[in-house]
Amino acid sequence: MTRAITTGLATRTDLLLTGISQLVTAEGAPARRGQRMGELRVIPDAALAISAGRVQWVGPARDWLPVGGAPARELDLGGAAVVPGLIDPHTHTVWAGDRLADFEARAAKTSYEEILRAGGGIRSTIRSTSAEMPRELARLAAPRIGALLRSGATTIEVKSGYGGSTVAELTMLEAISLLSAEQRAHHGARLLATLLIHLPPPARSSTRPSAPPPESRSRQQFLARVCGELIPAAARRSLASAVDVFVEREAWTVAEAERIFATARSCGLAVKLHSDQFHSIGGVTLAVRAGALSVDHLEAADEEEIRALAHSQTIATLLPGVSLHLGLPAAPGRRLIDAGAAVAVGTDLNPGSSPLFSTAAALGLAVRMNGLTLQEALVAGTVNAACALGLSDRGRLEPGCIADFLVLHSSDWRDLVYVMGANPVAAVWIQGRRWKDDTRRASTSEHVGISSDEPQAETVR
């Protein structure tokens, strides 16, 4: 018999949701690792009680007993499946300009790394983004947040990293703060800002405008400003909760990332890494040693790194949109889980390596490309993604947790990861209230914006 759970509190129920064909959730706060990533609680014919924006009770509808009097409101969902709100633990949603020329060049077989070495790619987005003010950056990003939300993301991490100087990185963080306030005002997604130390400065006079070598003066000066000004200012102004570093041949070395991490920690910020996207140069070992919240990408991770992650508290975050868009080998999701690691999945929404505007679709890609089971994908996009952001109050539907959940177009939760090219999410609920979708559709850049009164074709079945 299916178990019912209650807080035992005699507070009045604000809302009772019934007519739920299946309510699906992971149970328990810590990250799920290894085999336990496949364990989900599936409650057929369920009910969900909400009080003060939190889950009050969840269980089979027949077991519901009113606490503190009859619910203030009841809603029959008509046989839809319900899952926890998704958590997107890795996005670069704030940018200006576009990378359509890069896409065209890559289609003609120029690689992402070649474009970057020639001064394009991320560097071209740094040029366009650093020219904008916070309000404009927030305006450009708002429909992208709307798209992620519509696809089921109720908590979204947003990184800076296209600033390239202290002032421009702080401008990006201010834009994220504006977006976050706007979301709060419209009862939308919760945003978490991360300061990303993305690339060293470009070499000044060279035929090859990639990053100067680590011992160069300009690079040392840039790093000194990151540690002496940028990180302390972001922490002092509470503009970010974590610092991320891109460790890669064309970006930062392990030793440099270690120095950035030491500063971040001394300022009370959590740390995380972009690592092993193209080459394995020691980022995973550093992440584990430093107790990073997560290490993200991992397309090039080897067996030793997989073992190290499996024996650590650091979450391995997979970004399958990147593998799809850049044609990279998929990160070893199956091997990570089989070794005992805790895996999360995110969109990595950004203009260059992952123009993926759907968090639900990222989970579907993780099944198809990284070898996750359907159950593991849901855990990776909910409870484990919450842990990758250091959060334990969401990502599952249990008494006391924030009542963020999705009502699907389907009576079977598996449609969340099955459907491609249409939105499996019928309604997004945040803190026990239905999100009112009044944002524009996402566009990669302004010139393709579509107005909000465009009809939305969302029915799946």
Contact pick of 20, 83, 87, 122 for ligand NIG (by CB under 6 A): 122
Partner whose footprint covers residue 253, from Fe ion, ligand NIG, none (CB < 5 to 8 Å by kind): none
Closest CB to ligand NIG among 222 and 278? 278
The interface region with ligand NIG, picked from 120-128, 381-389, 409-417, 420-428 by CB under 6 A, is 120-128
Alpha helices (H) in 13-111, listed in sequence order: 100-107
Beta bridge partners of 59: 47
For the record, the structure tokens of 131 come out as: 């020219």
d(CA 2, CA 20): 15
* Other beta carbons within 10 Å of 136: 15
Q: Which is nearer to Fe ion, 248 or 398 (CB)?
A: 248
Task: Give min distance, CB of 102 to ligand NIG, in A.
Answer: 8
Question: Least separation, in Å, of the C-beta of 93 and ligand NIG?
Answer: 11
Q: Which residue is nearest to Fe ion (CB)?
A: 348
Nearer Cβ to ligand NIG (246/429): 246
| Burial class, 129, CB count within 10 angstroms (exposed 0-12 / middle 13-18 / buried 19+) | buried
Phi/psi at 241 (5° precision): -105, -10
How long a stretch of residues is the chain?
461
Contact 63, 44 (CB under 8 A): no
What residues from 334 to 393 belong to the interface with ligand NIG (CB under 6 A)?
Answer: 348, 350-353
- Of 253 and 277, nearer to ligand NIG (C-beta) is 277
What the block records as the tokens of 35 is 């085999």
Q: How far is the CB of 323 from ligand NIG (least distance, A)?
A: 11
Q: Is residue 330 a contact residue for ligand NIG (CB under 6 A)?
A: no
Contact 89, 362 (CB under 8 A): no
Which segment (29-37, 121-129, 403-411, 450-458) binds ligand NIG by CB under 6 A?
121-129
**Token output for 342:** 């805790």
Q: Exposure of 110 by Cβ count < 10 A (0-12 exposed, 13-18 middle, 19+ buried)?
A: middle
| Binding residues vs Fe ion (CB under 5 A) | 348
- Residue 147 partner contact from ligand NIG, Fe ion, none using kind-dependent CB cut-offs of 5 to 8 Å: none
Is 246 a binder of ligand NIG (CB under 6 A)? yes
- Between CA 114 and CA 169 the distance in angstroms is 25
Strand order of the β-sheet with 405-408 is 5-6, 54-60, 41-51, 15-25, 73-84, 405-408, 425-430, 433-434
With respect to ligand NIG, which residue has the nearer C-beta, 23 or 199? 199
If contact means CB under 5 to 8 A according to the sort of partner, which of ligand NIG, Fe ion, none does residue 353 touch? Answer: ligand NIG
Among 125, 171, 180, 370, binds ligand NIG (CB under 6 A): 125
| Residue 387 Cβ vs Fe ion, minimum distance, rounded to whole Å | 18
Binding site for ligand NIG (CB under 6 A): 92, 121-122, 125, 246, 274, 277, 322, 348, 350-353
